[in-house]
Amino acid sequence: MKAKIGILGGTFDPPHHAHLIIANEARIQLGLEKIIFLPNAAPPHKKESGLTSNADRLKMIELAITGNPFFEVDDREMHRTGKSYTYDTMIEMTKEFPNAAFSFIIGGDMVEYLPKWYHINELIKLVNFVGVNRPHYDEGAPYDIEEIEVPALDISSSMLRERLAAGSPIDYYVPNKVSEYIKEHHLYE
């Protein structure tokens, strides 16, 4: 029997409690053995808009998942040059873990963009897509997407960056260790 592994991709800039709750709920509801947080590379133009470095994002994810034996991080996409595609990552991961069945977790807002993903018709053979909270999902979509329900938390990384830039606290939106790291390194100011 194949090991069931969840993948949660994103910029995680910064990682927040909604990310952690989505990962945990997916793990529980789908019976996954673990969740791999897969931070993607920040495009050079995004760094100019106040986003943090790959090293800072990686450290914040590590701090956010500390103590959870079911969570880990894979930073392979951060080391790629040029465009990084989920398809290429999943080709690598299926070769590295031939006895794994991967569930790729996406937010409801991403479901409509799936037809535009690079090599989507090959990618859907490599992973099971899991859509989180998709109330307006069109049942006639061309892809099989497993649904899970997660308590709605209206927290986004962009909202947190705006709060920090305005000098507002983000206590309770992110794990304490992440908040401390942001303060200590003067991120998003």
pLDDT at 138: 54
CATH architecture of the domain 3-154 equals 3-Layer(aba) Sandwich (3.40)
Domain boundaries along the sequence of the chain: 3-154
pLDDT at 45: 47
Q: Which H or E run includes 44?
A: helix 44-47
Structure tokens at 63: 């701090």
**pLDDT one-digit tens code per residue, 16-28:** 999 999 999 999 9
Secondary structure class of 85 (helix, strand, coil): coil
How many whole angstroms separate alpha carbon 158 and alpha carbon 165? 10
> In sequence order, what E strands does the chain have?
3-10, 34-39, 71-73, 100-107, 127-132, 145-148
Can you say how many angstroms the Cα of residue 124 is from the centroid of all Cα atoms in its chain? 18
Secondary structure class of 89 (helix, strand, coil): helix
> Residue 15 phi/psi, 5° resolution?
-70, 145
**pLDDT one-digit tens code per residue, 4-48:** 999 999 999 999 999 999 999 999 999 999 999 999 986 554 555
How many whole angstroms separate alpha carbon 172 and alpha carbon 70? 22
pTM to 2 decimals?
0.91
pLDDT at 49: 54
Residues of the chain with pLDDT under 70: 42-50, 134-141
Q: Which residues pair with 9 in a beta bridge?
A: 38
pLDDT at 47: 53
Q: What percent of the chain has pLDDT over 90?
A: 70
